[in-house]
Structure 1
Amino acid sequence: MQNTEVDDGGRGTVRYRERLSPSLWGLVAAALAGPMVALVITPIDTTVALGLGAVVGIGLIAAWIAASPRIGVIGSELRVGRAHIDAVHLGDPVVLSGEDARHARGPGLHPRAWHLLRGGIDGVVVIPVEDPDDPVPAWYVSSRTPDRLAAAVRRATQEASHSRQLR
C-alpha cells in the first residue's frame, strides 16, 4: 500500500507509506500449516482437527501481515520499521534494482549500514546518512516502489534543510 501527500493529524504530512507484506507464496506457505495441523489432530477428533487447522492457518496469515514492517516518510522524518531518522541528516537516495539491488543486498552491503531488506522485493533504496556523529553510514531499505520512496525522501530532505536555513 502506497499513499502520498496525506495529512496525518498532528504528526505532519505523510509523503510516502508502504507495508512490506509477505509475498503470495509466503502466505500460501503459511496457509498450508492449517491442513498440516488438521492432519495431525484428525486421529483424535475430526471436528476439532478442522477447526484447529482453520484457526492455525488464518492466525499465521494474520500474524505475518500484522508483523510486516512499514516504511513511511512523515513530515521531515523517515520511518522504517521501528527505526526513524530526521531527513536533515539524510543524503541523496540511490535507487537500485535488478543486479545492482542483488549486489547491494549481498556483497555490496556496508557492514555498519542499517538495513531492512526483504526477500521477494526487488527494489532497494540506499540512503546515505550525513550526520558526522552517527556511526551508521547509510540505510538500505527494500521497497516495491523505490522511485516513490526516493522522491519522498528527497522532498523531505529539501524541505527540512530549507526550514532549518530559515531559523
Structure 2
Amino acid sequence: MPLPVVSQEVYVERQSPPFGVWLLAPFAGLLTALVVLPLSLAAAVALFAVVSVTIALLLLRSSSRIVVTDGTDPGLRAGPAYLEAWHIGDVVPLDRDQTRDVLGPGANALAYLAHRGWISTAVRVEVRDVEDPTPYWVVSTRRPLELASALDAVRPPLAD
C-alpha cells in the first residue's frame, strides 16, 4: 500500500521588520517615560514597559509568512490568503523599480497585495481563475527569483 503524499513546504520566508525598526519599541518607551519622569519614577518605569511591549507586539503582528507548498495541497500562502497551484499563471520576479510601478502607477485596483513596506522587491503572480476577479497578486519578497522558481515548480503546466 503506497504511503499518502502529504503537503510539504518548498519555500518559506518570514517577513519580519528589519532590526532598526525593532529599536523603535524601546526608544518610544524611553521617550514616553521621560515625559512622566518628573511626576513619578514608578509611572515612568511602568510606561516604558507598557509602550515598549505594545510596539514590539505590533511589529511582531505586522510580520507575515510566504509559503509555497507541494504535495496534496500545492499552492501559495501569502499572509491569510491562499492561491491553489492550478490557479497560478505567469510568475514574474520584480526588481525595486518594477515593484514600485506595479504598486503605484501601473497598479490594478482589483489586484491582491501582500506587501510589506520594508521589502523593496516582489513577485507578480497571475491568477488563472475565471470566477476570481483578481487579475494578479503582488507578493513582497526578499528573494524574488527563488520564490518565482518555487511557484513555477509547483504549478501544473500552463495550457494556452
TM-score range, shorter chain: 0.7 to 0.9
The CA distance in 2 between the partners of 1:54 and 1:29, in whole Å, is 13
Alignment correspondent of 1:35: 30
Structure 1 gap ranges (5+): 1-9, 163-167
TM-score, length-scaled by structure 1: 0.80
Which one of the candidate residues 153, 156, 160 is aligned to 1:155? 153
Post-superposition Cα deviations, 1:65-103, rounded to whole Å, max 9, x if no partner, equal 243121111230210110101010111210011222211
Alignment correspondent of 1:90: 88
The correspondence of residues 2-151 of structure 1 with structure 2, limited to 5 A, is 12-75=7-70, 76-151=74-149
Shift of 1:24: 3.0
The CA distance in 2 between the partners of 1:13 and 1:111, in whole Å, is 33
Shift of 1:61: 1.7
Shift of 1:11: 5.8
Deviating 4+ runs (over 3 angstroms): none
Post-superposition Cα deviations, 1:46-78, rounded to whole Å, max 9, x if no partner, equal 134124303421442243124312111123021
* SS in structure 1 at match of 2:118: coil
Percent of aligned pairs sharing the same letter: 35
Structure 2 gap ranges (5+): none
Please tell me whether the aligned partners of residues 11 and 74 of structure 1 are also in contact (alpha carbons under 8 angstroms): no
Instruction: Give, as a single letter, the amino acid of the residue that structure 2 aligns with 1:123.
Output: T
The CA distance in 1 between the partners of 2:114 and 2:26, in whole Å, is 25
